[in-house]
Amino acid sequence: MTTALIFVLSVVALLQFFISYCRSVIAATVTQPVSDQVREVTGIRDPEIDGAEFARLLQLARLCPESGKDRARIAAVRAYYRLLSVFRTISGRYIPGVVSWTERELSRCAHFAAIALDRRINYSRGLMAQQLSS
């Protein structure tokens, strides 16, 4: 019984740490504006990006070469996005306020994905410039 209690508490603590980590990674990008270049490539015109755009933005980011610096952050935010989606589906029926909060969080995840796409596009341009100069 004690072992099960320690296991459950450990899982809860790990989940809490994971959520805090993901929210801090996302918070670091919230103040950064999405570039006009990314808006043109994606066709997103609204100032706030809809959370439903997250998967498409990540697919576009996967098409660009990665610098290796953001792979873990993208994977963590992807898992956080899935966790939020499941949480919204399960608790949205019982707690109406949860739906608006999860929509805001999903939108922030999509904003993070747009910034990651912007960084990868800029990295690709840097690689191309470097190849052209040598």
pLDDT, mean over the chain: 91
Give residue-wise pLDDT tens across range 3-20: 999 999 999 999 999 999
- Note the pLDDT of residue 133: 83
Amino acid in position 50: D
Q: What is the pLDDT of residue 59?
A: 95
Which residue in 76, 84, 88 sits closest to 22, CA to CA? 76
Residues 74-100 have pLDDT tens digits of 999 999 999 999 999 888 778 888 888
pLDDT of 35 over the 80 cut: yes
33/2 Cα distance (integer angstroms):
49
pLDDT at 38 over 80: yes
